[in-house]
């Protein structure tokens, strides 16, 4: 499979390969190890401009009810109380600016909407490369993480939740995207 070495060769419209993409989170719990989880239902697209990355953009939609940490007694309350998935079924991120930091790193600023609250967020995104897969389709990879304060988006259950779950949550992502023909 030929590897793409020039950023300009990655220009085009992309769709997330949801089978090869992970959108996860890590939260600290006061009485045990970190809690790790992910979202199982999401979709996204990107417009990449390798010659002028500032013209690039991404859009992501996550189904809030798809949160999984593989503990039903934790997941159901988080979906219902913290995410309020019944009233706010989707979490979205739409980029507003992309700035190239170095050859493989980008600062992507955008609007994160969670629980009906929209706030700006800047992600550090690293490209993990691009190559033509076995079917000849161009595939690109990105990874990164960002620390957020869930309380900034109103993601609280009650006053006692502050005692047990840290308001700081690390959002992690590993993305695989396919260029549209």
Q: What digits encode the pLDDT tens for the residues 114-154?
A: 999 999 999 999 999 888 888 888 999 999 999 988 888 77
- pLDDT reading at 19 higher than 90: yes
Q: What tens digit of pLDDT does each residue of 26-67 get?
A: 987 766 678 899 999 999 999 999 899 999 999 999 999 999
Query: Which residues, in sequence order, are CB contacts of 51 under 8 Å at separation 6+?
Result: 7, 8, 11
Report helix, strand or coil for 91. Answer: strand
Determine the structural domain holding residue 16 and report its residue range.
3-179
CA distance 148 to 167: 8
**Residues 141 and 130 sit within 8 Å (Cβ to Cβ):** yes
What is the total count of domains within the chain? 1
Neighbours of 25 (CB within 10 A): 21
Whole-prediction pTM value?
0.89
Instruction: Dig out the tokens for 24 from the structure.
Output: 């996860």
CATH (domain of 109): 2.40.128.110
């Amino acid at each position: 499979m030929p590897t793409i070495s020039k950023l300009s060769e990655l220009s085009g419209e992309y769709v997330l390969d949801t089978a090869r993409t992970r959108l996860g989170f890590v939260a600290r719990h006061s009485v045990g190890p970190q809690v790790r989880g992910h979202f199982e239902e999401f979709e996204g697209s990107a417009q990449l401009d390798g010659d002028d990355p500032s013209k690039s953009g991404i859009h992501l939609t996550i189904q809030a009810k798809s949160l999984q940490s593989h503990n039903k007694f934790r997941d159901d309350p988080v979906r219902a109380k913290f995410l309020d998935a019944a009233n706010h079924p989707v979490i979205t991120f739409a980029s507003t600016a992309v700035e190239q930091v170095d050859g493989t790193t980008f600062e992507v600023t955008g609007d994160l909407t969670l629980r009906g609250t929209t706030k700006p967020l800047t992600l550090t995104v690293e490209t993990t490369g691009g190559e033509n897969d076995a079917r000849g389709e161009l595939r690109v990879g990105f990874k990164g993480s960002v620390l957020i304060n869930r309380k900034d988006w109103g993601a609280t259950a009650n006053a006692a939740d502050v005692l047990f779950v840290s308001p700081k949550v690390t959002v992690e992502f590993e993305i695989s995207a396919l260029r549209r023909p």
